[in-house]
Amino acid sequence: MTAVIQAGAPIHGMNWYSVNWRSASRNVRRLQVRIVKAMKAGRWNKVK
């Protein structure tokens, strides 16, 4: 077996300026709301 397995970040990584920041911010906000709801409900297994 001489197979080579490589790990790590892809060579063609995403450019910082090509990120859709509106969508990313919306997604972060949605996740924050979900975490707060889980905390208030005492569902600690959902708070990660």
Cα separation, 24 vs 15, in Å, equals 14
Residue 16's φ and ψ, nearest 5 degrees, are -55, -35
Q: Using the 8-state DSSP alphabet, how is residue 42 labeled?
A: T
Between the CA of residue 30 and those of 6, 11, 35, 36, what are the distances in Å? 34, 30, 9, 10
Domain regions of the chain by residue span: 20-48
pLDDT tens profile 1-48: 567 777 776 677 778 889 999 999 999 999 999 999 999 999 999 887
Question: Residue 47 corresponds to which amino acid?
Answer: V
pTM of the shown model? 0.62
